[in-house]
Structure 1
Amino acid sequence: MKSAEQAAERTSPSELKTSAVRSYCRGTVPLTAKLEPWITNFCHGTALPALVQKYGSPLNLLNTEPFQRNVTALYDIAQSRDLDFDVYFARKANKCLAFVETAKTLGCGVDTASLEELQQVLQSQVPAEKIICTAAIKSEELLRLCIVSGTTIAIDNLDELMQTAILAGELNQRAAVAIRLSGFQHQGTKLPSRFGFDIEEIVPLLQDLQSESCNSLQHLNLSGIHFHLDGYSQVQRISAIQQLLPLIDELRAREFPIRFLDIGGGFPMCYLESKTEWETFWQTQRRALLGEHIPLTYRNHGLGLASVEGTLTGKPNCYPYYQNLVQADWFGEILSSASEAGTIADSLRTRNIQLRCEPGRSILDGCGFTVARVEFRKLQTNGDWLIGVSMNRTQCRTSSDDFLIDPLLIPILERSPLPRTPAGISGYLVGAYCTESELLSLRKLLFPHGVAIGDFIVFPNTAGYFMHFLESRSHQFPLARNVIFDAETNQCECDAIDA
């Protein structure tokens, strides 16, 4: 048997540093975060307290280097198949302008979802041909700006189509548009969506609008087909692409100059180190809801599941934090899937059509974390501790029930004004909103070395949606500042969005 000393000798300084950072907080059933080295270095170093002191709690710290790596990996996959391809960063996933600037530098595009997003991207001098607007609600002002600037509009419904045509006529310009489609057949079922025209209805509709008596499309340049599927299913996207290839042929035959197919976002990513931990968590959570295990969550919250007369109903309302085919590899398998006489990549290449996508979360993997200061510790009568943290739940939350990643606790370096809690306590992180439900994480957490006022709680890998998707200024709390770390200069400065 090898000695502990021999094992330690084989452990790199980076691994030792990561292990130390993780040692102060974990879930009662752990969900260990994947950590980028730059995040580990910040948590292990001395710069974080000064940054929180300067910019306030909570603070979002970001780095564009992983963004560049993640985007480049997608281009490399497409290039290996000799495919005309472009990435459009889904800006709604993170508001920081540093990522817009990085996208521009990389030569990729930006997907905008509001008038303000589009205005800021245009002000950043991203070329209009590298911008698409996919806003769920498009005001007249937004449509006008798209038309005037030359931004492509992803058209969702007939009202939007007709309003765009009317405005383009008034402006005497041709609007660049892509028709958004849905209603794809998959394994004998039509995939439901609130977005887009039904694929079975689009040709008759366009044919009517193209007729001489109507001629509603004369000011529209219909150059693309667009879709966005909910969830992260690879096979559903393959089905959608396979159904759109003959549609593209038919539209081109009817003199619509379709030159690109946009498959939207939903590229999966993995937040966790261990598949086993992920599976164990859900197995244990189900047992807890059935009364067979102590609760893992605050007041035995089901996270989408519920026990009804001893039977579990519902489904998890959380992101699938562990996935084992992600990002560029997931995308590559779509391109290599069978289609017609070859692969999907072959079918696209034969048609001389550009493939586009609009990832957000997945290309922000590793790009940021959120840090906040501990302000109080409170022992409940049931033995649980409440750890009060200077932030609110909207500052690290999406529309799902919880953030299922173990936070990190960074102990205060100087003496705390009050003693640390006892070692080995367990409890919950609570936030600043004055409601009973104001938990930053619903999972019960263990603190092997206790907690002190002034310690920092770090939520890792929050750049994709968690920081900004739901953030709120209720109670007049200021929004978190966004600070960009430049690895080349080792300097930090506020993102221009906070100027």
Structure 2
Amino acid sequence: MKTVEPATSASFSTAQTGRSVRSYCQGMLPLTAKLEPWIAELCQSTILPELAQKQGSPLNVLNTQPFERNAKALYDVAEAQGLEFDVYFARKANKCLAFVETAKNQGYGVDTASIQELQQVLDNQVPPEKIICTAAVKSEALLRLCIKSGVTIAVDHLDELMQIVILAEQLKQRADIAVRLSGFQHQGARLLSRFGFDLDEIRPLIEDLQNASPHCLQYLNLIGVHFHLDGYCQAQRVSAIQQLLPLIDELRSRDFPVRFLDIGGGFPMSYLESETEWDTFWQTHRRALLGEHRPLTYRNHGLGLTLVEGTLIGKPNCYPYYQSPVQANWLEGILTSECEAGTIADSLRKRQIQLRCEPGRSLLDGCGFTAARVEFRKQQPTGDWLIGLSMNRTQCRTSSDDFLVDPLLIPATEESLLPRTPAGISGYLVGAYCTESELLCLRKLQFPHGVGIGDLIVFPNTAGYFMHFLESRSHQFPLAQNVVYDNDTNQAELDSVETYL
């Protein structure tokens, strides 16, 4: 990574004002962010604005220390249960190679979802046995690279399976595979998914391969079973594991060397400090949509809810920013759930099966933020203000309708050509794309001390998905730079992924 030398011509500091870094911006109903100490400290120093001036806006700032802490907590839970266990970091959640390097150094695995992700991970000397490819669509070139390099492939459907057989035969090399499965029974319903073979179909398929196509099997090394479930429900994971254990027994009885069960990702995390704030926001937002409270969102946007003949229908189209239990505690709840004559952990341990998982977002909890410069303030006829930032909404957004975490505002202390707005204004953060819908936050925000050109807006805890999942270069805007910050040395370096872009 290339060391970034901060510029020295600007001076920003909330410390100079004596105010908290949180005091300059809040939601009309606050949704207070959990803040890692390194983020709070950096936002109150001169280092961040100097980096932003040097590297441009927006800027992604990352730190790998929380990544190690979050992974270790998962390993500790598994170790307490006496399980063989491995974490495979879902790289799709963040493209920066600092996390790949950390995973390699700490002995974790890496989950890749494209040929570019895989090639970069291989270039960084991650051992092939520590890599799995779970790409939703796998090209022939990607499958070929997996087979040649010895990377395990999570096989999703019959076309993929047969293509692997053909390529492995051409390469004269067996392919390591894990069969991805779906269609589990849970509380009287089936957990349908676009990913994986249906559980009811896998046994006939295996029988057909053994009986009618034994030639194919000499090119396949079936070493694992795998699933991916949408959402964050513990009980659904328990149901899936319970239904896969008999399948593992059967596959082993048929001489398939299954040695791991991979439960995918979707480990929940919380972005917010307060469950009460989260519940209050949604209760009040529903009242606003019903006309019983002033709107909390731009033009009373429903965030997934729609008013139809006096009734709200739909469900929130937003990540559950407050959840409990989360991360290691959530995993522990799965492992200690009842199964067979004991617990899930007992059943896995009895079979000497390795448990694997592929978290992304939850491993990146606390690992980064996105900062952008205020370029204009514009008051609307309604009285609300639009605060224009040098960024676009793809640079802090996933498939959720909104980022439901209060941003931070860091005031500029150098003189601007234009004065700050009056104190106590409220309004919305808007971005650089030329559309009416280009809002960076749909929630209405208030600015007790006003807003000035050159202020920085910080979106906390964006390392997991928000930075990179949807980022776009429309209008030919450059992508945000990514710097890795070491809070022990106060040094920042450009992440080495920049050499691939």
TM category, shorter: over 0.9
Given that residues 391 and 432 in structure 1 are in contact (C-alpha distance below 8 angstroms), is that contact kept between their aligned partners in structure 2? yes
Equivalent position of 1:8 in the other structure? none
CA contact (8 A) 1:364 1:463 kept: yes
> Are the aligned partners of 2:182 and 2:227 in contact in 1 as well (CA < 8 Å)?
yes
Partner of 2:7: none
Q: CA deviation at 1:263?
A: 0.1
Change (3 A) 1:383 1:284: same
The 3 A distance-change label for structure 1 pair 292 and 15 is farther
The 5 Å alignment of 1:81-100 reads 81-100=81-100
User: Distance in 2 between the 1:17 and 1:288 partners?
Assistant: 36
Between Structure 1 and Structure 2, how many residues are aligned? 486
Q: Residues 47 and 438 of structure 1: is their aligned pair in 2 closer, same or farther, counting only changes over 3 Å?
A: same
Could you report, residue by residue, the CA deviation over 1:231-251 in whole angstroms, capped at 9, with x for unpaired residues?
A: 000000000000101111011
Q: Give the structure 1 partner of residue 5 of structure 2.
A: none
| CA distance in 2 between partners of 1:488 and 1:179 (Å) | 43
What displacement does 1:496 show?
Answer: 0.2
Counterpart of 1:321 in structure 2 is 321
Q: Deviations over 1:141-160 (max 9, x none)?
A: 00000000000000000000
Q: Give secondary structure in 1 for the equivalent of 2:440.
A: coil
Superposition pairs of residues 347-358 of structure 1, within 5 angstroms: 347-358=347-358
- Distance in 1 of aligned mates of 2:485 and 2:175: 39
Q: How does 1:86-235 map to 2 (within 5 A)?
A: 86-211=86-211, 213-235=213-235
- Measured after TM superposition, the shift of residue 347 of structure 1 is 0.4
Structure 1 stretch displaced more, 371-380 or 489-498:
489-498
| CA shift for structure 1 position 277 | 0.3
Cα separation, partners in 2 of 1:61 and 1:406, compared to 1, 3 Å = same
What is the Cα deviation at residue 461 of structure 1? 0.1
* Aligned counterparts of 2:406 and 2:109: Cα–Cα separation in 1: 33
Identity %: 76
CA shift for structure 1 position 57: 0.2
Q: State the Cα distance separating 1:17 from its structure 2 match.
A: 11
Residue 210 (structure 1) shift: 1.6
Q: Is the contact made by 1:17 and 1:44 (CA closer than 8 Å) also made in structure 2?
A: no
Q: Aligned pair 1:405/2:405, yes or no?
A: yes
In the alignment, structure 2 segments of 5+ residues that lack a partner are: 1-13
Are 2:387 and 2:427, in contact at CA under 8 Å, matched by a contact in 1? Answer: yes
Match of 2:475 in 1: 475
Q: Residue type matched to 1:142 in 2?
A: L
Aligned 8 A contact 1:155 1:179 in 2: yes
Give, in angstroms, the shift of residue 84 of structure 1: 0.3
Measured in 1, the distance between the counterparts of 2:45 and 2:228 equals 41
- What letter corresponds to residue 302 of structure 2 in structure 1? G
Q: Which amino acid is 2:122 matched to?
A: L
The residue number in structure 1 matching 2:8 is none
Retained in 1: the 8 A contact 2:15–2:45?
A: no
1:206 deviation in Å? 1.0
State the TM-score, normalized to the length of structure 1: 0.96
Q: CA offsets per residue over residues 394-419 of structure 1, 9 Å max, x none?
A: 00000110000000010002122211
Question: Which of 454-463 and 214-223 deviates more?
Answer: 214-223
- Residue by residue over 1:219-270, the C-alpha shift from the partner in whole angstroms, topping out at 9 and shown as x without a partner, is 0000000001000000000000001011110111111111000000000000
User: Counterpart of 1:31?
Assistant: 31
Structure 1 contact 83–354 (Cα < 8 Å) conserved: yes
Secondary structure at 2:209 match in 1: helix
1:50-79, Cα deviation, whole Å (9 max, x unpaired): 101110000000000000000000001000
Match for residue 56 of structure 1?
56
Q: Please tell me the residue identity of whatever aligns with 1:419.
A: P
SS of 2:81 mapped into structure 1 = coil
Q: Is the 8 A contact 2:15 2:44 kept in 1?
A: no
Name 1:298's counterpart in structure 2.
298
Matched letter for residue 483 of structure 2: V
Q: Does 1:449 align with 2:449?
A: yes
1:264 aligns with 2:284: no
Query: Deviation at 1:192?
Result: 1.1
Checking the alignment, whether the CA contact within 8 Å between 2:148 and 2:173 is kept in structure 1 is yes
The range that moved more, 302-311 or 408-417, is: 408-417
Q: CA deviation at 1:212?
A: 5.2
Which piece of structure 1 moves more, 466-475 or 336-345?
Answer: 336-345
Matches of 1:17 and 1:253 in 2, distance apart? Answer: 70
Deviations 1:372-393 (A, max 9, x none): 0000000000100000000000
State the TM-score, normalized to the length of structure 2: 0.96
Matches within 5 A, 1:328-339: 328-339=328-339
CA distance, structure 1, for counterparts of residue 36 and residue 19 of structure 2: 13
- Over aligned residues, Cα RMSD in angstroms? 1.4
Q: Measure, in 2, the Cα distance between the counterparts of 1:490 and 1:153.
A: 40
- Secondary structure of residue in 1 paired with 2:363: helix
In 2, the alpha carbon distance for the partners of 1:181 and 1:352 equals: 21
State the match for 1:45 in structure 2. Answer: 45
Q: Which residue pairs with 1:9 in the alignment?
A: none
Amino acid at match of 2:346: D
- Shift of residue 218 of structure 1? 1.4
CA distance in 1, matches of 2:152, 2:121: 13
Shift, 1:215, TM fit: 2.8
Once the 2 structures are TM-superposed, how far is the Cα of residue 487 of structure 1 from its aligned partner?
A: 2.5
Partners of 2:112 and 2:126 in 1: how far apart? Answer: 12
**What is the distance in 2 between the residues matched to 1:327 and 1:32?**
20
